[in-house]
Structure 1
Amino acid sequence: MWTKGWDFTEDLFNFVGCKNMKKMAPGSMKQCLFLFMLCVSLLYFLGRFKRGFKNYTYHLSNTNFTILLWHWPFGQSLSLNGDVCWDLYKVPNCKLVDQRSFFPKADVVVFHNRELIQGSQKLPIELPRPPGQRWAWMSLESPAHNGNLQKFADVFNMTISYRRDADVTIPYGELLPKEAEDHVAQESPVNKRSLVCWVVTNYQDYHKRSQVYKKLNAIVPVNVYGRWANAPLSSTELLPRISPCYFYLAFENSVAQDYITEKLWQNGYQSGAVPVVLGPPISDYKAVAPNHSFIHVDQFTSVREMGEFLQQLAKNQTQYNEYFTWKQKWKVKIYNDWRERLCKICKHKNSLPQYKVYSDLEAWDKVNYSLV
């Protein structure tokens, strides 16, 4: 109807029958102008309706992908009213439920490992599993705390874990690129008063992290907080207490593939202290964390060498500040809501394994780990 190069106004005048307006009577000219404005208005609202309808149909199409959480982790339930995945996290076509009556219709049924191992929850093996339904094993614990998984052989079709090779990866934290508005706010410098800080609850002498702490504390002073030190910190006290420290000991309680917890993402990065990490190999940290943003214990031949390095680095403000240059482009995202983690399953629904069965979940879980 309209030309490709389109003089929109001329074409629209022709469309409403007003090609020769100069030769028209005043009454006919007013009628043409009215029709012209009416068409413009209709086209405008039709365009807006089309865009809105497209988004609406995209949101409602294929709404039958249902995730059933068989039991809440640690017994701490959250509201699932409304379209949770869309309303909170803008994940479309995802129905998250915890009513077991949805079992025959669920595409994925998620079981949290802790309750299964403790015996407070059981697998519904007596129920006939609908064709195509996947059972998902979920855990954010290290293998040292997952218990004996041999009894789950040939049960689960998918894994949900912090591991990068899990079918659905739900890390404790990750980096997101900063938006334009994120660059506006500048962090206020914090007056550093302490060299090294550590927050610890579970202290065991045989842990490698405890042995490293003892040796380091003999070289440089380490301020220790947490239940073990009879100095517990509330969630609101944690970061303000760590912020005045140059370095924070982000020591994991287990060495396991990709096992990098909030000790790095929250206690280290968000506090403004440089994290000194002890956990999986440095290659695992480099795969998810910014380059030159942390110090790994394995970088040194001895704890004494590391302690001397920390002392020297704290005295050189220019070199110390280089450990924070990553904040110019990146920000830290912390995951602590199980609903957000579960909604992430829908983002991977098209790539989930169709006929996969974990014949040896125990072997998959316990890959190269040890207590530290």
Structure 2
Amino acid sequence: MEPPSNMFWDPAILNGVFNWTAWYRQDATLMWLYGHKYTLNRSESNDARELFGNTNFHKEKTREVAGMISNCKDQAERYKLVHKMQKYVTVDMYGGCYDRLCERVSKSENKSCDEILKQYKFYLAFENSLCKDYVTEKYWNALKREQIPIVNWKNISENIVIPKSYINVYDFKDIKSLANYVKK
């Protein structure tokens, strides 16, 4: 499930050993994804409308932007994007790379990390590697928490994710433009 940049050995030594692959990429023999999109049929869509009605998830949330990073030296250098964003919008960061460990905060507030993160409208679902088709649980968990994921994807197929369900930092000319969009 890890991209090549997170493998600390040379996978080429396995060339010719296996004739099938199970990986997160679309060109694998078996796609092994972190999450799956699903199109609702008419009945399921009606049930969802009835269940959620006119719920305004955005209005119910009290905080703006959160993220969690524990791998501090990653190929994508996520910390640089976070630092630039924090100049323009409030971003609460959790994880081993920041002074806020969600586990510590959640125990003092008697909540789970998910409950704490669910208070935020946006979640920085930044991947640690910018590899083809690499979409991890960060994106899918943000959707489960009814958040808008902010992603750092450069080479992701729309077949893997839900179209228009995220904000990509690379769709903006600069971080200030992204921050203005998030504020809006």
TM class, shorter-chain normalised? 0.7 to 0.9
Go from structure 1 to structure 2 and tell me whether the alpha carbon gap of 1:289 and 1:205 turns closer, same or farther (over 3 Å shift).
closer
Secondary structure at 1:255 match in 2: coil
**1:177-219 deviations in Å (ceiling 9; x for gaps):** 3363552432865522222111111123874311111111011
Identity of matched residues, %: 26
The 8 Å contact of residues 24 and 134 in structure 2, kept in 1 or not, is answered as yes
Higher Cα Rg: structure 1 or 2? 1
Go from structure 1 to structure 2 and tell me whether the alpha carbon gap of 1:285 and 1:249 turns closer, same or farther (over 3 Å shift).
farther
Runs of at least 5 residues in structure 2 that lack an aligned partner in the other structure: none
The 8 Å contact of residues 259 and 280 in structure 1, kept in 2 or not, is answered as no
Q: Given the alignment of the two structures, is residue 185 of structure 1 paired with residue 51 of structure 2, yes or no?
A: yes
Q: 1:278 is matched with which residue?
A: 152
Mapping of 1:93-172 within 5 angstroms? 140-146=1-7, 147-172=9-34
Once residues 130 and 75 of structure 2 are traced to their aligned partners in structure 1, the CA distance between those partners, rounded to angstroms, is 14
Q: 1:208 is matched with which residue?
A: 77
Q: Given the alignment of the two structures, is residue 253 of structure 1 paired with residue 128 of structure 2, yes or no?
A: yes
The 8 Å contact of residues 75 and 129 in structure 2, kept in 1 or not, is answered as no
Q: Given the alignment of the two structures, is residue 288 of structure 1 paired with residue 153 of structure 2, yes or no?
A: no
Once residues 85 and 160 of structure 2 are traced to their aligned partners in structure 1, the CA distance between those partners, rounded to angstroms, is 27
User: In structure 1, what residue type is equivalent to 2:149?
Assistant: P
RMSD: 2.3
The 8 Å contact of residues 75 and 130 in structure 2, kept in 1 or not, is answered as no
* Displacement over 4 Å in runs of 4+: 187-190
**1:26-47 deviations in Å (ceiling 9; x for gaps):** xxxxxxxxxxxxxxxxxxxxxx
**1:290-343 deviations in Å (ceiling 9; x for gaps):** 22211111101111111111111xxxxxxxxxxxxxxxxxxxxxxxxxxxxxxx
Cα deviation for residue 285 of structure 1 reads: 4.7
Go from structure 1 to structure 2 and tell me whether the alpha carbon gap of 1:143 and 1:287 turns closer, same or farther (over 3 Å shift).
same
Secondary structure at 2:36 match in 1: strand
The TM-score normalised by the length of structure 1 is 0.42
Q: Given the alignment of the two structures, is residue 310 of structure 1 paired with residue 182 of structure 2, yes or no?
A: yes
Q: 1:217 is matched with which residue?
A: 86
Answer 1 or 2: higher relative contact order, Cα 8 Å, separation at least 6. 2
Go from structure 1 to structure 2 and tell me whether the alpha carbon gap of 1:151 and 1:288 turns closer, same or farther (over 3 Å shift).
closer
Q: What is the number of residues matched between the two proteins?
A: 170
Secondary structure at 1:241 match in 2: helix
Once residues 138 and 177 of structure 2 are traced to their aligned partners in structure 1, the CA distance between those partners, rounded to angstroms, is 23
The 8 Å contact of residues 76 and 127 in structure 2, kept in 1 or not, is answered as no
1:231 to 97, 100, 114: 100
Go from structure 1 to structure 2 and tell me whether the alpha carbon gap of 1:258 and 1:205 turns closer, same or farther (over 3 Å shift).
closer
Go from structure 1 to structure 2 and tell me whether the alpha carbon gap of 1:274 and 1:285 turns closer, same or farther (over 3 Å shift).
farther
2:67 to 193, 198, 223: 198
The 8 Å contact of residues 242 and 273 in structure 1, kept in 2 or not, is answered as no
**1:200-257 deviations in Å (ceiling 9; x for gaps):** 1112387431111111101111011122224333597233222221211110000111
Secondary structure at 2:159 match in 1: helix
Greater fraction helix: 1
Once residues 192 and 170 of structure 1 are traced to their aligned partners in structure 2, the CA distance between those partners, rounded to angstroms, is 32
Once residues 249 and 265 of structure 1 are traced to their aligned partners in structure 2, the CA distance between those partners, rounded to angstroms, is 12
Go from structure 1 to structure 2 and tell me whether the alpha carbon gap of 1:206 and 1:175 turns closer, same or farther (over 3 Å shift).
closer
